Structure 1
Amino acid sequence: MAREWLAPVLGATHDGRATADSARGLLVTVLGEFVRPHQAAWTQTLIELMEALGVQPKATRQSLARLAESGWLERTKEGRRTRWHLTETSRSLLESGAERIYGFGQTPRAWDGRWSVLLASLPDSHGVSRHRLRARLGWAGYASFEQGAWISPWTDHEDAAVQVLDDLDLRVATSFVAELGQLGDGRDIVSRAWKLDEVNEQYRDFIDMTPAVEGAAGADSAGLDAARQLTALVHRWRRFPFLDPELPAALLPDGWLGAPAARLFADTRAALIGPATAWWLDCDRQY
């Protein structure tokens, strides 16, 4: 599935920045982490967890209604109670999003030293199309290297790039696979194409904001607090599949924090998922 279709799930704008920490954004994280595995939830269960995350009940109800209007949720009534169900579309998107979020950064890929290069451009007068081209090629894993030149160290991304050009009806383009010759350095290319220093700072912030595994697994993590911590953890992490182009290790700068951040995410989630899920199921049974 193309990365742009995962944008609302992973919570990112066209350039990889996370969407605002709005009630709807947090609610989508809750849907992916708790409702997706269990298919449905009562309104009060959702409200209780969202309140623990600092969202007022009115804002949660409004977000539920908007998600229903956009085809993400369906509701059923049992007396005065409302139960929310994922639609086929939202379930598919959340499954794809979960696979991407949980697996991101966990298994480094081997690189054969080849680059996928794309030559494609639009005149300045096509402002909207230029913006869409940059956004969608970025989602496909490409970065602008020079005027009209796009690169990715993963040659298997070419199909996605070609699909982007077809969708935008941009027919004057060339793609090829290349290796560096006697001139140039891969890290220099990367530093010119991607703003990795900014991504690394965001990884540093994530690490600083995430408690150690020992603290996450302690007594304070039982029940609702574990569910709150887990939701906040995933919500902070879910932007990185868009921020980080997941480059080969040989091209990363010294001091890169992507791998330790990914380990911290996986370990902390593993420590929280048990008590968080137990609370969720118990709470939903009560309502």
Structure 2
Amino acid sequence: MSAKHQLESLVQDFQKKRPLRAGSLIITTYGDILHPRGGNVWLGSLMKLLKPMGISERLVRTSVYRLVQEGWLQTEKVGRCSYYSITGSGLRRFQQAFEHVYSLGTDDWNGSWCLVFLNQLDPDTRSRVREELKWLSFGSMATGVMEHPRFTYHELVPLLQEWGALDDTIVMQTQPLAQRSPKALRRQVKESWNLDELGFRYKRFLEQFRPLWRELETNDNLSPQDCISARILLIHEYRKILLRDPLLPDELLPGDWEGRSAKQLCRNLYRVIYSRADEHLATLLENASGPLPGPSQGFYRRFGGLLDDAPAFTAPASTPAIETA
């Protein structure tokens, strides 16, 4: 098989998923591609971007409408054209996950835990805040108590305020202990997070994307447009796992934890395909002012640096520029 055949298989697997969560894929696209380029894009550009992945224009329209209603996106009309950008609250809701996606590792853990007590909230608010915290990879320590090893009180306060839950939520930061009792903590971690399921999802990610990596080494026939689709799918599937991963310290993880290999594979694939994807993005994306600008400097710091020591694969010739409407 070739790299192109492996990509087609990945796209087909994505299209078979039910329900097909196009809205989630659009959020991935904003985080990976659009936000570093200013974050505002013409709806027609978004349609062109996602069409090769089997997302119809109608589904894109429906999905962005829902994302606006849910507070993720905001829209601006200029004449008959619609332009969409991510809201401030939408950015804060997934920023933590995206920061982890492009980081090579995690800082050393000092042994402290962030504990959130929800018992004082009314039932509806408590349920909503619990789901928001689970989305940020908090674990359930006990009934009405959520925990995380890396979140801090200061990071959580603006989110609780946004959710309307700050006044009735108790947040505590535990003091690190010299003796952390890893055995007891491992038992607590196993009760708070489903590490077996998380490990299975990492294993599935490796099974999905390792064949593409192998073909890129031996039979790389991806076009710039193919690289866009591969890049979006890669980050989308990896991001969905990280949403549930609290990035526990190594001392609390199984020795054969697949998350380490998944991080390395994601980084290697991204570094091979990102620049070819950018060749085509420059001709594909526009806002009310014209073509979108190139990525910000922060973009090139992803995965420890994209420009230095990149694997030396030969890129195919660029595709012709796409006519813009």
Identify whether the pair has TM-score above 0.5, normalized to the shorter chain: yes
3-state SS of paired residue (1:273): helix
Alignment of 1:123-138 (within 5 A): 126-138=122-134
- Show CA shifts across 1:108-129 (max 9, x none): 22123x3336473528x94324
Moved more, 237-246 or 90-99: 90-99
Alpha-carbon separation, structure 1, partners of 2:282 and 2:96: 22
Alpha-carbon separation, structure 2, partners of 1:159 and 1:178: 17
Is 1:209 aligned to 2:208, yes or no? yes
- Show CA shifts across 1:238-277 (max 9, x none): 2233210111111101211111101111111111111111
Is 1:62 aligned to 2:75, yes or no? no
Map of 2:36 onto structure 1: 37
Q: Is the 8 A contact 1:23 1:59 kept in 2?
A: yes
- Give the one of 114, 117, 120 matched to 2:117: 120
- Show CA shifts across 1:7-60 (max 9, x none): xxxxxxxxxxxx954232222323333333334545444323322111112222
TM-score (norm 2): 0.65
Map of 2:264 onto structure 1: 263
Q: Is the 8 A contact 1:36 1:91 kept in 2?
A: no
The amino acid that maps onto 1:109 is: D
Overall identity of the aligned pairs, in %:
21
Report the Cα offset of residue 205 of structure 1. 1.2
Map of 1:144 onto structure 2: 140
Alpha-carbon separation, structure 2, partners of 1:101 and 1:182: 27
Map of 2:323 onto structure 1: 286
Aligned residues: 263
3-state SS of paired residue (2:107): coil
Is 1:73 aligned to 2:39, yes or no? no
Report the Cα offset of residue 202 of structure 1. 0.8
Rate the CA distance shift 1:23–1:138 in 2: closer, same or farther, 3 A.
Answer: closer
Moved more, 82-91 or 237-246: 82-91
Alpha-carbon separation, structure 2, partners of 1:85 and 1:127: 34
Runs of 4+ in 1 over 6 A off after TM superposition: 171-174
Map of 1:86 onto structure 2: 85
3-state SS of paired residue (1:247): coil
C-alpha RMSD over aligned residues? 3.8
Q: Is the 8 A contact 2:114 2:171 kept in 1?
A: no
Alpha-carbon separation, structure 2, partners of 1:274 and 1:237: 19
Map of 2:99 onto structure 1: 100
Alignment of 1:228-267 (within 5 A): 228-267=229-268
Report the Cα offset of residue 64 of structure 1. 4.2
Alpha-carbon separation, structure 2, partners of 1:110 and 1:103: 17
Map of 1:157 onto structure 2: 152
Q: Is the 8 A contact 2:138 2:148 kept in 1?
A: yes
Report the Cα offset of residue 131 of structure 1. 1.9
Map of 1:14 onto structure 2: none
Alpha-carbon separation, structure 1, partners of 2:284 and 2:186: 51
Map of 2:3 onto structure 1: none
* Runs of 5+ unmatched residues, structure 1: 1-18
Q: Is the 8 A contact 1:116 1:176 kept in 2?
A: yes
Map of 1:277 onto structure 2: 278
Moved more, 20-29 or 267-276: 20-29
* Runs of 5+ unmatched residues, structure 2: 1-17, 286-321
TM-score (norm 1): 0.73
